[in-house]
Amino acid sequence: MPVDPVLAFYGDAAFYTALVLYLVAMVLQTVEYAAQRSAEPVAAAVGGGDGVGGGVATLAPPAGERAARSRSERTGRVAVSLTVLAAAVHAASLVLRGLAAGRVPWGNMYEFTSAICLVAVVAWLVVLVRQREAAPALRRLGGFVLLPVVVLLFLAGTVLYAEAAPLIPALNSYWIAIHVFAVSVASGVLLVAGVSSALYLVRLRAEASGGEGGSPGSRFAARLPGSALLDRLAYRTTVVAFPIWTFGVITGAIWAEAAWGRYWGWDPKETVALVAWVVYACYLHARATAGWRGARAAWINLLGFAVMVFNLFFINIVVAGLHSYAGV
């Protein structure tokens, strides 16, 4: 099927438009984050209470602080709205790329990276919708989620960019719509989990050191949501992504048998994908094991995220193997 150059052009235009929108949203999220004095409300004991019911009251901030907080909240809401618009444009770019080439829009590294980033953003927006009670605190994490998305999309649109073209024969199989889609979804959700674990460790260290303090690092950590919320976010997103990643590994083995006559051959891509699966399985086990919860489990989650990034870039681009065909 010949490539439609008009649809391909509009697909690329939508991609770069989404990148700019994400960048603006990230800046606005950073503005909201910087405007916050602390992620925790100011509380004081009143009337000799015991901390239950009326025993603790939240002190109202001064009028000037309330006005500044209101402005920052509006900025954050605008950033979220802009992120939703960017995700819609981003999705349109993938749809147009697929229609232009007459295939699924994740047939090379440029498209695969773009799909992962779209899933990460959508996963983040779903978190905000589902966690409405914690949305004001979670919204301040938007800039941290969008930072790797912007970086990855910039690399995809420059270093990894590939013109729209039909699939090469090695990828021309219905399994690409199943296996690669599952891997893209799992990778995008695990990006959110990795960011959450990294911020959890930062917040946990600040809490262990005794509060906000006066250093820039302490003030930075004080604006983050509580460590319990960050830990819960990392765990729940990993719980969602892990079975999808498992499905991706299994379907990859089935595709390998159909294409190469064996289910497993310890190709570098297969090996590192299995290593990532083992690391995330260890994280979920550690998270449920007394003595390994908290910082230890978070470090394991970060290790899993590092393995994912290594697999995405170094294995795909540098190491030669049977999977070295996805185009750069």
- For the CA atoms of 293, 299, 302, 306, the dihedral, rounded to the nearest 10 degrees, stands at -140
188 pLDDT higher than 60:
yes
Q: What is the mean pLDDT of residues 219-247?
A: 91
With a cut of 70, say whether residue 321 has pLDDT above it.
no
Task: Using alpha carbons, list the distances in angstroms from residue 90 to 15, 27, 113, 141.
Answer: 6, 18, 12, 21
Q: Does pLDDT of 116 surpass 90?
A: yes
CA distances from 144 to 33, 133, 167 (A): 10, 20, 34
**Digit-coded pLDDT (tens) for 123-147:** 999 999 988 777 778 888 899 999 9
What is the tens place of the pLDDT at every residue in 50-107? 333 344 334 444 545 455 557 778 888 999 999 999 999 999 999 999 999 999 999 8
Q: Which of 148, 166, 184 is the last residue of a domain?
A: 166
pLDDT at 200 > cutoff 90:
yes
pLDDT for position 46: 34
Q: Across all residues in the chain, what is the average pLDDT? A: 83
What's the whole-number mean pLDDT along residues 210-227?
69
Least confident window among 69-73, 125-129, 171-175, 319-323: 319-323
Same domain, 32 and 155: yes
- Report the interhelical angle of 63-101 vs 5-35 (nearest 10°): 160
Place of tokens 């239950």: 52
Looking at the structure, do residues 176 and 323 belong to the same domain, yes or no? yes
Note whether 143 and 224 are within 8 A (CB): no
* 226/99: higher pLDDT: 99
Together in a domain, 151 and 204: no
Confidence of residue 155 (pLDDT cuts 50, 70, 90): very high
Q: Is residue 97 located within the same domain as residue 175?
A: no
Residues 6+ apart with CB under 8 A from 20: none
Say if residue 300 is in the same domain as residue 151.
Answer: no
Q: Give start and end residues of each alpha helix (H) in 102-141.
A: 109-130, 135-139
**Which among 28, 23, 121 is positioned nearest to 73, based on CA atoms?**
28
Is pLDDT of 233 > 60? yes
Mean pLDDT on 113-131? 94
Domain that holds residue 155: 1-39+66-106+132-166
Q: Are residues 301 and 206 in the same domain?
A: yes
| Claim to verify: residue 87 and residue 184 sit in the same structural domain | no
- In this prediction the pTM is 0.85
> What residue type is 17 in one-letter code?
T
**Number of domains composing the chain:** 2
pLDDT of residue 267: 82
Query: Sorting pLDDT into bands at 50, 70 and 90, what band is 41?
Result: very low
In a domain, 205, yes or no: yes
269 plus 318 within the same structural domain: yes
Q: Is the pLDDT of residue 324 over 70?
A: no
Any idea which of 8-17, 74-83, 295-304, 315-324 has the lowest mean pLDDT? 315-324
- Is the C-alpha dihedral spanning 250, 255, 260, 262 positive or negative? positive
Same domain, 320 and 182: yes
pLDDT at site 85? 97
For residue range 270-307, what is the model confidence (pLDDT) as tens digits?
A: 889 999 999 999 999 998 887 788 899 999 999 999 99
Residue 269 forms part of a structural domain: yes
Q: Are residues 81 and 204 in the same domain?
A: no
